[in-house]
Amino acid sequence: MAAIENPSTTVSTKGQIILPSAIRQRREWRAGTRLIVEETAEGVLLKPAPAFAETRPEDVFGMLGYKGKPKSLEEMDAGVLAEAKRRHARD
C-alpha cells in the first residue's frame, strides 16, 4: 500500500507561500482572508483572524445610549417574551 503524500509548497523569494487549493477550499479561506501565524513546537500554525477585536463587557458596557426612564426587570422580561412570541408567530 502506497503512503499518502502530504501537500507541500515552496517559499518564494518574497517570503510568500501558496496554500494548496484543497486546504483553502476545505477551510473556506478565500483571497483576502486574514490569518494569524503562530509558531509552535511542532511547526507553524495558521488560523483565521477574528473579524472583531476581543472585548470585555466592561469595555462596551453602556455604549448604546438610552434616553428615557430605566426599565424594570419585569418590563424587560415582558419585552423579551413579546419579541419571542412575535418571532414564533412568523415561523
The pLDDT confidence band at residue 2, using thresholds 50, 70 and 90, is low
Residue by residue, DSSP assigns 50-74 as: PSS----HHHHTT-S---SPPPPHH
Q: Which residue's C-alpha cell is 466592561?
A: 58
What pLDDT is stored for residue 18 in this prediction? 93
* In this structure, CATH architecture of domain 7-52: Ribbon (2.10)
How far out from the chain centre does Cα 57 lie? 18
Going from N- to C-terminal start, the domains of the chain cover 7-52
> What pLDDT, on a 0 to 100 scale, did the predictor assign at position 34?
94
Within 10 angstroms of residue 18's Cβ, the number of other Cβ atoms is: 10
Q: What is the pLDDT of residue 4?
A: 57
